[in-house]
Structure 1
Amino acid sequence: MQSVDRAVSVMEFLSRQGLSSLTEIANELDIHKSTVYRLLATLEYRGIVEQDPDTERYRLGFGLAAMAGSVTADLDIVRHSRGICQSLSDETEETVTLEVLEGNEAVIIHQSISSSSVLGADWSGSHTPLHCTASGKVLMAHMPSRRVNGLLRKQLEAKTDNTIVEPDHLREQFQEIRESGYGYTVEELEVGLNAVGAPIHASDGNVVGAVSLSGPAFRLPLESIPDYGRLTAGAGSDISRRFGYHRGATTGR
């Protein structure tokens, strides 16, 4: 933990000072130069820090920018989506969330909630399984088949009696999602909770996130799913257009 803390301190110092010598960094951190050298060597190997060949001074590298790019992309989704999500929440009087992939889970990066919604919990930052959430199914439906097959080979947890864990059944749902433009769950993550989700496309057609609408089953019964699905898919299309996506754009699938 000490090494991690020191590495972060190095990066913070370089972000403030720019080009800095080994001695300057060691003096700032108040640790021996040999320790700083080992930290810098590791960070340089990973592309997080780079050394100027002429001055031999250090600065932040492009590897850090690449990692920050994923955060920037998430922030862009929120910025482009916030108003549309709030409008959908106000229209339906239900909770609307934005999700992106993080590893093999979906993470909620934004939530809009209607003042009249019966769900008051803040789910921002929560991680949810892919196979039993509307947004997760949408994200899986647009993954490369090789990755989907890898995920479906694992033991899928049944969160409720309604959770679908059979790979063939899920593949059928993924096909339906690609055809209809939305996915849904009926009490699969939690008893009494239903949801619909739709993809968010980048300008190149790749799916970069999902927008979902969720509410209690008595307000989102199974027979209402197509109507809520079309509304949510419309919101996803509106967000995608803000990213410059036009239907028919090529994707990496």
Structure 2
Amino acid sequence: MAARDEVGTGRDPDAQGGGVQSVDRALQILEILARDGHAGVSDIADEMGVHKSTVSRLLGSLVSREIVRQNNDRGKYQLGFGILRLASSIPGRLSLVHEARPILESLADQYKETVNLAVLRSNYAVNVDQAMGPSTLATSDWVGSLTPLHATSSGKVLLAALPAEERSRILQEAGLPARTPRTITDRDTLENQLLDVSHNGYAIVHEEFEIGLTAVAVPVYNHFGTVIGSVSISGPAFRFDPENTPGLIQGLQEAGLNISGKMGYTRR
């Protein structure tokens, strides 16, 4: 027989062995508090469609573990410092390369080109992982390569995310050497382009790093919303045209957000 509603029975169905349901409801409560900042028992119960006694019991358990705290004796509830203790153990255990790998492979399979994951190291963009497209032309192994920030799509994404002082320091130390006739070597021109990168959420380079190579990159964020890397798709200029490939830039941006989500980033 299905469990009766607790109203009027004096019994709480969750307490009668519904452990999985209790866990699910406790997580719902945490999601509501994370979303709204704070909420009362009645508000939570109404949204979840359960009796207030169920919410009160679950909140009591969460409060006892400092996962949730009450503003005052009869006030609303909000997330507690126990959440920070749990969350602080996550970032150090997350591997950007490990978390991104399936998404890189999916991008390479979908768009048939080379996909790279890069991070900022010692004034360069360093490629830390790569997924190869099925094309026989996509044979360059970029893993471990140090590439100039000002001449690559990943580098421009990383540069655009830096504070102005840090970006200025890097560009002064590394300079703006020309890799090809199309490399941007003027500081003002580069800064204006980086503003566009920040606004658009992606960077595109046409043969600035290597003649015949086009690439597009988007940022990857961590749980603080800080850019910690970039994911790019590159291919031969004669066939790879990101701006005119329907859905490619949007698909790459979604992939970047998916990797970011695995690193704890919450979309805003």
Range of TM-score over shorter length: 0.5 to 0.7
How far apart are 1:170 and its partner, in Å?
A: 1.2
Secondary structure at 2:151's aligned position in 1? coil
Matched letter for residue 231 of structure 2: V
Q: Point out the structure with max Rg over C-alpha.
A: 2
Q: Deviations over 1:12-44 (max 9, x none)?
A: xxxxxxxxxxxxxxxxxxxxxxxxxxxxxxxxx
Tell me the equivalent position of 1:207. Answer: 227
Distance 2:143 2:99 in 1: 17
Secondary structure at 2:140's aligned position in 1? coil
Tell me the equivalent position of 2:241. Answer: 221
**Identity of paired residues, percent?**
41
Number of residue pairs the alignment of both structures matches: 177
Secondary structure at 1:153's aligned position in 2? helix
- The answer to whether the Cα contact below 8 Å between 1:100 and 1:109 also exists between their aligned partners in 2 is yes
Distance 1:137 1:104 in 2: 12
Matched letter for residue 140 of structure 2: A
Distance 1:225 1:165 in 2: 28
Tell me the equivalent position of 2:150. Answer: 131
How far apart are 1:73 and its partner, in Å?
A: 6.5
Secondary structure at 2:266's aligned position in 1? coil
How far apart are 1:115 and its partner, in Å?
A: 2.1
How far apart are 1:229 and its partner, in Å?
A: 2.6
- The answer to whether the Cα contact below 8 Å between 1:184 and 1:194 also exists between their aligned partners in 2 is yes
Secondary structure at 1:184's aligned position in 2? strand
Which of these residues, 137, 140, 145, is aligned with residue 118 of structure 1? 137
- The answer to whether the Cα contact below 8 Å between 1:204 and 1:245 also exists between their aligned partners in 2 is yes
How far apart are 1:232 and its partner, in Å?
A: 1.7
Secondary structure at 1:214's aligned position in 2? strand
- The answer to whether the Cα contact below 8 Å between 1:210 and 1:236 also exists between their aligned partners in 2 is yes
Secondary structure at 1:236's aligned position in 2? helix
Tell me the equivalent position of 1:193. Answer: 213
Distance 1:110 1:233 in 2: 18
Which of these residues, 164, 175, 178, is aligned with residue 158 of structure 1? 178
Matched letter for residue 102 of structure 2: G
Which of these residues, 113, 122, 138, is aligned with residue 94 of structure 1? 113
Matched letter for residue 233 of structure 1: Q
Secondary structure at 1:213's aligned position in 2? strand
- The answer to whether the Cα contact below 8 Å between 1:183 and 1:229 also exists between their aligned partners in 2 is no
How far apart are 1:152 and its partner, in Å?
A: 3.1
Q: Deviations over 1:163-196 (max 9, x none)?
A: 0111111111111111111111000000000000
Matched letter for residue 266 of structure 2: H
- The answer to whether the Cα contact below 8 Å between 2:242 and 2:249 also exists between their aligned partners in 1 is no
Distance 1:198 1:83 in 2: 17
Matched letter for residue 111 of structure 2: T
How far apart are 1:117 and its partner, in Å?
A: 4.9
Cα RMSD, aligned residues only: 2.0
Matched letter for residue 150 of structure 2: H
- The answer to whether the Cα contact below 8 Å between 1:94 and 1:117 also exists between their aligned partners in 2 is no
Distance 1:166 1:228 in 2: 29
How far apart are 1:151 and its partner, in Å?
A: 2.7
Distance 2:120 2:261 in 1: 20
TM-score normalised according to structure 1 size:
0.65
Matched letter for residue 91 of structure 1: Q
Secondary structure at 2:105's aligned position in 1? helix
Which structure 1 segments of 5+ residues have no match? 1-71, 249-253
Tell me the equivalent position of 2:198. Answer: 178
For the structure 1 residues 223 and 206, does the alpha-carbon distance in structure 2 shift closer, same or farther, using more than 3 Å as the test?
closer
TM-score normalised according to structure 2 size:
0.62
Tell me the equivalent position of 1:235. Answer: 255
- The answer to whether the Cα contact below 8 Å between 1:95 and 1:117 also exists between their aligned partners in 2 is no
For the structure 1 residues 230 and 138, does the alpha-carbon distance in structure 2 shift closer, same or farther, using more than 3 Å as the test?
same
